[in-house]
Each structure stands twice: as C-alpha cells, then as structure tokens.
Amino acid sequence: MMEAAPEAGRAARGPRPMELLAMTLGSCTGMDVIAIVRKMRQPVTAYEARVGGPRSEERPKVFSALTVEHVVRGRGIEPAGVRRAVELSATCYCPVSAMLGRRPPQLLVLMAGKRTGQRA
C-alpha cells in the first residue's frame, strides 16, 4: 500500500511514491550486484543496498541526488570485484538505473564499514 505524506493529512502506513522509487533502484541494483559477486565466487556473508538522497524544495520535489551504498561483508572479499559488480549493474544491467540515467546515482561500496571506492 502506498500513502501520501503526513503533511497531506494522511497516516504514514506505507511508503510514498518517491520512497518506492528509491527502494526500486536499491532492489534492482542489489539483485545484480549480489548475483555478480556470487558468480565471482566472492565469500559474501551479508549484503545491503541503502538508497537515499535530498529532494528539491521546489515542485516537483524530485531527488536532487541519489546515493546507493553497497554494503558488503565477508572474509577475503576482493574490493575490485565488488566495485566491478557495482559498475556493471549501474552501466549494463539495472534498467532502473538506466531510466534514472540523466541523474545517475552516486555509487559507494562499503566493506566492513569502510569505503573501497566510489563513482560520482
């Protein structure tokens, strides 16, 4: 169920459309990245895609920037492989990212809480 903003007099029972857009991007790229790193036989024990960003003050209140944080955990994971998986998702596989291509998301890769690379 989707919901309007509380300031519109609605209860916050579900995500709003822009939240769903961010969730869709995270889901799309997340499925790509985890599939790619598994094919690389990386010993991933946990993976999370976090998506968000500021929105413009003017209507329509679009995201002025989107950031996708790829948080990867596991022993012996090669950061270059994870960065490559993120890049492949963003440039080749994720149709949501392609649709947002005019304002591509900033991509961050975190392993054990530390950045291993980024693409603006």
Residue 119 pLDDT > 80: no
Residues 30-67: pLDDT tens digits?
A: 999 999 999 999 999 999 999 999 999 999 898 998 99
Q: Which residues pair with 110 in a beta bridge?
A: 71, 115
Confidence band, pLDDT 50/70/90 cuts, at residue 105: low
The first and second tokens of residue 31, run together, are 């499925």
The pLDDT, as a whole number, for residue 108 is 78
Going from the N-terminus, what domains does the chain have, and what CATH number goes with each? 12-119 (3.30.300.20)
Say if residues 51 and 18 touch (Cβ distance below 8 Å). no
Q: What is the CA radius of gyration of the chain?
A: 16
